[in-house]
Structure 1
């Protein structure tokens, strides 16, 4: 038996679970383990998680990997994390958490944001002068919903003044994991982004912008130093080494926020090479050479893991969430799906069940259309009032028609988004990688190819994209490979080509889809202001 290749312990911390994997430099994911982590929803729009529960879960999943793959665990030379973004944890001078993690779902900071950044003239309560400055320096602006660190920190300052006084640093989720691993307090170029205090005009020199820091309402010394995603920030402190069952000599690479890591894990590290991530939400992302913002379409290019590039990201608010809704609210867990038995919560099983049904319904879902705006939309229009709808249902419509309509509706919305991406990139996209849990569905991948009219290349391990991305960032940081090597390492298990005879059908449906948005958007605004 040969010696195992050098491994990166890749940490993948999402909102619902802590995952860890063993990833080799060639992208091979040897092992995988997961533990659920709880989310607390609070009155007034609060959402929190216990960072110590993350740490406990990381110890458990690492122990699982050690039992299942002892040789590969002995070959671990680096640790690198990919985490959920936009969370905020206040820590004291000893690095101990003073608050729970204020989640990216938490909206309690919204009124504090408006008070801090208001002015005349204003857009959604935020000074237009400040918005222009943010766009020029950072490429974006704080979410008026209060769902990012810019608002979270103000919430702590205004509603927890004693905690604020004791706070040595405000950390994002990734930053806190790195603190526990190394004892070092840092932020990465992407984890600091949504504090909206950085000058991002030179991708290799992301730094704090004095004017933005002075205006943010938070003491400068509470903001951590900024490092590149590929920087080796130290080795494991003794407590972390014991917790993970690894030597103290193991190096820690700074890592990245989830969408940054997914862009690496998808293998799309070349310029203008997009990937479609299909999860609860979805996005189209591509690395680009220059900072740019399309305000109208809600698309921006922001700092990322590749030091001399930006990551263009166009976010669709809900994608796989539409299937979860259909399963839980229409099909129902204890209902029979065409004799297939119970529809489980396992992603592979649910897509197997759906894939038996989708091909039995013709393109166009027998005339039924679905708009997938369950929770508003982010791009190519930013409209929180949009909502989902089935249209053109008749007495002949059955559940299978509704299912295909949902799959097609998400793809039609992605086509709408893809047109804005084409304009942003300056050329039409003709081939796109697809990854994330939704890519497990053969039927959905083919629908995307048909609706978008382009080749769709499926990641052979779509559920591992974030862990693989963290593994590759760790491998680059420790000198095992370069970002330029990665496209040749990605493995696709299938390429879906568009079906020519379906093109006319989807072109016509897409025209109707766009018209539906124009006609329904005013209706939803009225319904939300009753």
Structure 2
């Protein structure tokens, strides 16, 4: 039997990674195409939706040209994308404004207004399990209604990034279940959370029909097929948000299995059939598998903190042609500093935080600096700071949801950093397993949506035929006492400075 192929597009904040995958789960080739981010105002982060489509078009052409396969052998297209996008489309199919991205935190006033209107901030948080913040979608929809009323009134549907790409490729305006979770999705009814959305003052009719990740939404239009070099009518599947596709691609897809993603941002995620309430800023979302849910605690800044260290403290080394990989050099430097960074603590909240604490005003801190501390101390403290955040989320998961987390599968670019893996293992006291393809998990997870939709694989558990653990890290008990002490101090820093950060930053945002 001739092999067939799926093209999966992983559309992130900075680039679209396009992967050609055969029906045995092998990655044949890949292409990455970047696009800019616009920050027109402090705490606003926008992007041009057309950039996503053009990157996907270019990626499709690139993998077809490199692989030299026939377009007739491509049996499916699927997108996995950054979550929480807000792209208003009118009835004439015009995009009315740039995408308000997931990082954007402009709607703090609207978040407080909605909670006050519904039941008050304290009661809202107690009942729902999490308070609304300025980065959430519903407050930002209300922001558009209040500050851009013409756009709001002319909008036929608000689409997320995945929905926009399905629209550009099929002409259909829909939202997939996992993407709907960012807006307000009833996990039991598989429908919009209509009461909350209406009570917030948002017209429910401006939210499109819903589909699942494995649904065939429609075939490529003539225009899209020509642009991508594919066959008109090639099926486009529902796909899912990037967190959900990564969860599938981690292979932690069965009840109680946990993984950590380490990229620009990070998260801790546990798969479960349970429909759990939100607690301690962790959210229960629809999985990419329509039969499962995931509990996720998202960290805003992880790999981006490491990149900041590289860009600001290793400029000279980055310009040295003899240094091929700056992160390998940094890894060697981290080894020179003892566990705990000689009591230097970094809180990695560069852009505020979602979990384990939800805040738009808190920012990063280097705490307890002395003359003995060097560039290398600062760097290790950043690695450790992200790990403390991960431990905090894991402890909350065990306490709040009774999960039995003994080991963690790690995916994303950060999984390639061996020293960071050991630090995370030491601080969380968990066995760490890095998968065989940690950087392709999102695309492979998305491809599984198409494979299951096509009937090539019977269910999502068969991802374990493709993805498996490759490297294992065990915690060093010699570091437990030091890290336990500093972890308690880490949490105290947040509670001690929370009010001060709010006072200094509230007027800015």
TM-score, normalised relative to structure 1: 0.87
Residue 192 (str. 1) matches residue 168 (str. 2): no
Select 2:235's aligned residue among 243, 251, 257: 251
- Mark the CA change 1:119 to 1:163 in structure 2 (over 3 Å): closer, same or farther: closer
Give the 3-state SS of the residue equivalent to 1:95 in structure 2: coil
Residue 341 (str. 1) matches residue 320 (str. 2): yes
Separation (CA, whole Å) in 1 of partners of 2:489 and 2:44? 38
List aligned pairs for 1:311-330, cutoff 5 A.
311-329=294-312
Aligned position for 2:282: 299
Aligned position for 1:180: 168
Do the aligned partners of 1:253 and 1:478 also contact (CA within 8 Å) in 2?
A: no
Shift of 1:223: 1.6
Separation (CA, whole Å) in 2 of partners of 1:68 and 1:156? 43
List aligned pairs for 1:16-415, cutoff 5 A.
16-43=14-41, 45-71=43-69, 75-112=73-110, 114-115=112-113, 118-119=116-117, 122-123=120-121, 128=123, 135=128, 143-145=132-134, 147-196=135-184, 198-200=185-187, 202=188, 205-295=189-279, 297-329=280-312, 331-333=313-315, 335-336=316-317, 341=320, 349-415=325-391
Do the aligned partners of 2:258 and 2:271 also contact (CA within 8 Å) in 1?
A: yes
- Mark the CA change 1:368 to 1:41 in structure 2 (over 3 Å): closer, same or farther: closer
Select 1:505's aligned residue among 442, 459, 482: 482
Separation (CA, whole Å) in 2 of partners of 1:256 and 1:343? 41
Separation (CA, whole Å) in 1 of partners of 2:259 and 2:502? 32
Do the aligned partners of 2:80 and 2:443 also contact (CA within 8 Å) in 1?
A: yes
Do the aligned partners of 2:343 and 2:486 also contact (CA within 8 Å) in 1?
A: no
Alignment deviations for residues 197-254 of structure 1 (CA, whole Å, 9 cap, x no partner): x432x1xx41134433432433333221111111111111111111111112421110
Separation (CA, whole Å) in 2 of partners of 1:376 and 1:212? 25
**Greater mean alpha carbon deviation, residues 35-44 or residues 115-124:** 115-124
Give the 3-state SS of the residue equivalent to 1:362 in structure 2: coil
Alignment deviations for residues 72-98 of structure 1 (CA, whole Å, 9 cap, x no partner): 755321001001111111212243323
Shift of 1:489: 2.5
Shift of 1:469: 1.3
Do the aligned partners of 1:40 and 1:48 also contact (CA within 8 Å) in 2?
A: yes
Shift of 1:483: 0.8
Shift of 1:119: 3.0
List aligned pairs for 1:455-470, cutoff 5 A.
455-470=431-446
- Mark the CA change 1:214 to 1:322 in structure 2 (over 3 Å): closer, same or farther: closer
Shift of 1:53: 2.2
Separation (CA, whole Å) in 1 of partners of 2:322 and 2:414? 16
Separation (CA, whole Å) in 2 of partners of 1:460 and 1:343? 29
Give the 3-state SS of the residue equivalent to 1:119 in structure 2: helix
Give the 3-state SS of the residue equivalent to 2:45 in structure 1: strand
Do the aligned partners of 1:88 and 1:101 also contact (CA within 8 Å) in 2?
A: yes
TM-score, normalised relative to structure 2: 0.91
Shift of 1:25: 3.8
When the two structures are aligned, how many residues end up with a matched partner? 506
Separation (CA, whole Å) in 2 of partners of 1:407 and 1:212? 39
Do the aligned partners of 1:237 and 1:248 also contact (CA within 8 Å) in 2?
A: yes
Do the aligned partners of 1:25 and 1:472 also contact (CA within 8 Å) in 2?
A: no
Shift of 1:31: 1.1
- Mark the CA change 1:527 to 1:185 in structure 2 (over 3 Å): closer, same or farther: closer
Shift of 1:385: 4.0
Give the 3-state SS of the residue equivalent to 1:293 in structure 2: coil
Gaps of 5+ in 1: none
Do the aligned partners of 2:5 and 2:23 also contact (CA within 8 Å) in 1?
A: yes
Shift of 1:306: 1.6
Gaps of 5+ in 2: none
Shift of 1:320: 1.5
Separation (CA, whole Å) in 2 of partners of 1:286 and 1:489? 20
The two structures, once aligned, show a CA RMSD in angstroms of: 2.7
